[in-house]
């Protein structure tokens, strides 16, 4: 598997130095650039792709969470902040992890290993997912088998997801990004930061909403091209 390319968006020089040092100690991380504010990072991302953003929340000009909301298809994000009260909002935006300053190298490694695991799922087992007609998810300390054909839609709920099927609803502790990587792309489409729908269950749609099994689900502004290509 190729290296995980990353950028740092952080305005505190000491924090930048710590992150750069930590990144240099992890063989699979490749630092592309560091930015002292989100506007500079935005300009960079217009011309370059990255796999991971280390993002501070209290930034000058544009705050970290506001910056994250501007990204139509954000890469993996690890929040780095001294303020714990933003954790819920961060998980609601599907961030991979939330590092509370000051954090040590061991805690940093736990966070980046989550990204590595997600990348491995994205690049390796995808072909098998296309062939299988089911997946197993952790639900209340059990591995539960869920058929792709039964899934109606998936909804993000902070650090959990709701998997709504034709017969029941399952709740699992994982991100929408992780779930999207497990689902066959020809059967399921991400139409919103918080929603993935089964293409076969779509009854009707507009540029603003999709109807699946009698439920209206909003279409995110950055996902309208997905609807146009259905």
Q: Can you give the CATH number for the domain in which 18 is found?
A: 3.40.50.2300
Give the per-residue pLDDT at 129: 46
> Got the DSSP string for 111-136?
HHHHHHHHHHHHHSTHHHHHH-SEEE
Sheet strands (E) in the chain: 4-9, 29-35, 52-56, 76-81, 97-100, 134-139, 142-147, 151-157, 160-165, 169-172, 188-192, 195-198, 202-205, 209-212, 215-218
Confidence of residue 229 (pLDDT cuts 50, 70, 90): confident
127 has a pLDDT exceeding 50: no
State the Cα–Cα distance between residues 86 and 82, nearest whole angstrom.
Answer: 10
Give the per-residue pLDDT at 142: 87
**% of residues, the chain, pLDDT over 90:** 51
Residues 118 and 179 in one domain: no
Residues 135 and 170 in one domain: yes
Residues 133 and 213 in one domain: yes
Closest alpha carbon to 203 in 193, 222, 192, 217: 217
Please enumerate in sequence order all residues whose Cβ is within 8 A of that of 47, keeping only pairs 6 or more positions apart, or say none: none
Place of tokens 């590092």: 99
Single out the residue in 90, 123, 156 at which a domain terminates: 123
Which of the 8 DSSP states describes residue 185?
A: T
Structural Rg of the chain based on CA atoms: 18
Domain that holds residue 220: 127-228
Residues 100 and 86 in one domain: yes
Structure-model confidence comparison of residues 100 and 119, the more confident one: 100
For residues 190-211, give the mean pLDDT. 92
Residues 68 and 28 in one domain: yes
- Token pair of 183 as six digits: 């689902």
183 has a pLDDT exceeding 60: yes
Residues 8 and 118 in one domain: yes
Structure-model confidence comparison of residues 197 and 58, the more confident one: 197
For residues 55-81, give the mean pLDDT. 87
Closest alpha carbon to 41 in 29, 30, 52: 52
Residues 146 and 82 in one domain: no
Residues 137 and 208 in one domain: yes
Single out the residue in 123, 153, 177 at which a domain terminates: 123
Give the per-residue pLDDT at 227: 77
Asked whether the beta carbons of 66 and 41 are under 8 A apart, the reply is no
153 has a pLDDT exceeding 60: yes
Residues 116 and 164 in one domain: no
The total of structural domains in the chain comes to: 2
Confidence of residue 117 (pLDDT cuts 50, 70, 90): confident
State the Cα–Cα distance between residues 175 and 146, nearest whole angstrom.
Answer: 17
Confidence of residue 16 (pLDDT cuts 50, 70, 90): very high
Q: Which residues of 164-173 are buried (b: 16+ CB within 10 A; e: fewer)?
A: bbeeeebebe
Residues 92 and 189 in one domain: no
pLDDT tens-digit readout, 77-100: 999 988 766 544 545 567 888 888
Question: Which range among 32-46, 54-68, 71-85, 126-140 shows the weakest confidence by mean pLDDT?
Answer: 126-140
- CATH number of the domain bearing residue 134: 2.40.50.1020
Cα within 13 Å of Cα(5), Cβ side: 8
Residues 109 and 50 in one domain: yes
Give the per-residue pLDDT at 122: 54
Single out the residue in 107, 123, 139 at which a domain terminates: 123
Question: Which range among 120-134, 166-180, 210-224 shows the weakest confidence by mean pLDDT?
Answer: 120-134
8 has a pLDDT exceeding 90: yes
Residues 11 and 27 in one domain: yes
């Amino acid at each position: 598997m190729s290296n995980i390319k990353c950028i740092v968006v952080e305005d505190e020089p000491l924090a930048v130095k710590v992150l750069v040092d930590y990144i240099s100690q992890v063989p699979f991380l490749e630092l592309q650039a560091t930015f002292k504010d989100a506007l500079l990072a935005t300009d960079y991302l217009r011309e370059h792709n990255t796999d991971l953003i280390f993002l501070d929340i209290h930034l000058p000009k544009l705050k970290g969470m506001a910056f994250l909301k501007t990204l139509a298809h954000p890469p993996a994000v690890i929040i780095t902040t001294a303020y714990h009260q933003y954790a819920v909002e961060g998980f609601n935006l599907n961030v991979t992890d939330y590092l509370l300053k000051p954090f040590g190298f061991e805690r940093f490694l736990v966070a980046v290993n989550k990204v590595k695991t997600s990348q491995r799922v994205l690049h390796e087992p995808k072909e098998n997912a296309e062939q299988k007609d089911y997946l197993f998810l952790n639900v209340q300390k059990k591995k539960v088998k869920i058929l792709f054909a039964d899934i109606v839609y998936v909804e993000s709920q902070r650090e959990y997801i709701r998997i709504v099927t034709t017969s029941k609803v399952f709740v699992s502790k994982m991100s929408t990004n992780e779930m999207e990587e497990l689902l066959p792309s020809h059967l399921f489409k991400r139409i919103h930061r918080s929603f993935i729908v089964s293409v076969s269950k779509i009854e009707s749609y507009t540029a603003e909403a999709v109807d699946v099994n009698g439920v209206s689900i909003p279409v995110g502004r950055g996902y309208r091209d997905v609807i146009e290509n259905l």
